[in-house]
Structure 1
């Protein structure tokens, strides 16, 4: 069983951020995951990872960017998000364990852009926004391809920000959540429950983390 979550406020150059730690009883690494531009750490995929991974030797750090902590409704520019993530990194690395840098949507972009400079062990990109909906020509593939560390993309099969078959070949692994949208919700007609869908996601992440050695 994991311990009760604890929160930690961290001052960054972008403002005060917050980490909710869900600690593994026998941790071998930290998975730090940030939220997207339209929601917080209550997203179904982040909650599922925090519930499942501590039993696999992974301490999960749910990261809230300063804009979210301040109660703002709109995320700032990517540069400011990166500044917040950099400011959080010493706290994430403080347990002395390898840190997998991750996030969903905009948070996945932050993880990819900063992984090499921060010394991340790997990157977990949940619902990577390959392009704005309906605008495949505005590709952000260079951020993903430039992560520079082992990377896993977990993508919904019906994600309007980029379906799995739209992703270019590259040095990363890709796991598909069938029928999932950008938030990994699946239509009732798929026959899959949210619990089953989240199991697919958490099993994929747990298996990939185990493969990191």
Structure 2
């Protein structure tokens, strides 16, 4: 039986952040996940991972950036997001376990940019925004491949911010059939919504087990 979820407050230069801990009964590592610029930790992929991974020995920490905690609707500049993430990292590392950084969309970018400097053991990039929709020439591939640690990308097959086939071949990637940027799948998709989420949680569980 999993330990109860609890919330920890963490101070950052941009204000108070919140860490929603989903502890594993016998943890071997921590997976810290940040949210995107258009939503919070209630995203379907983040909640699915928080529900599924503790039984596999992974304590999941869903991180609310200060701008969300303060109720603002627009995310600040990338540097501000990075500063907050770095400031709360000691709280994520406090259990004394290896910490894998990650997140969805903008949160994945934060994890990639800061992983090496923080000593993260890997990066789990969900819905990595490879480029703005319709602007493939504005690629952020370098940000992804320069993370400096083992990295797994989980990407929806219909993601307008970058379909799986657009990523560099050297990137380890798991496609989610029918998934859009939020991993929502059409009603007539080849897989249902629960199956799509299972692709995400199974991929993460397997990859983390190999770290």
**Normalising TM by the smaller chain, what interval?**
over 0.9
User: Which position in structure 2 is the counterpart of 1:120?
Assistant: 120
1:72-93 C-alpha deviation (Å, 9 max, x unpaired): 0000000000001001100000
Unaligned runs of 5+ residues in structure 2 are none
User: Which position in structure 2 is the counterpart of 1:159?
Assistant: 159
Question: Are residues 1:209 and 2:208 paired?
Answer: yes
User: Which position in structure 1 is the counterpart of 2:192?
Assistant: 193
User: Which position in structure 2 is the counterpart of 1:22?
Assistant: 22
SS at match of 2:53: helix
User: Which position in structure 2 is the counterpart of 1:182?
Assistant: 181
Distance in 1 (alpha carbons) for counterparts of 2:156 and 2:208: 19
Distance in 2 (alpha carbons) for counterparts of 1:130 and 1:14: 26
Distance in 2 (alpha carbons) for counterparts of 1:141 and 1:68: 27
User: Which position in structure 2 is the counterpart of 1:168?
Assistant: 168
Distance in 1 (alpha carbons) for counterparts of 2:2 and 2:14: 31
User: Which position in structure 2 is the counterpart of 1:138?
Assistant: 138
The Cα shift of 1:192 comes to: 2.2
Between Structure 1 and Structure 2, how many residues are aligned? 211
Runs (4+) of structure 1 exceeding 6 A deviation are none
Aligned Cα root-mean-square deviation (Å): 0.7
The Cα shift of 1:195 comes to: 1.2
TM-score when normalising by structure 2: 0.99
Distance in 2 (alpha carbons) for counterparts of 1:14 and 1:141: 28
TM-score when normalising by structure 1: 0.98
Distance in 1 (alpha carbons) for counterparts of 2:152 and 2:63: 19
The Cα shift of 1:191 comes to: 4.2
The Cα shift of 1:169 comes to: 2.4
The Cα shift of 1:7 comes to: 0.1
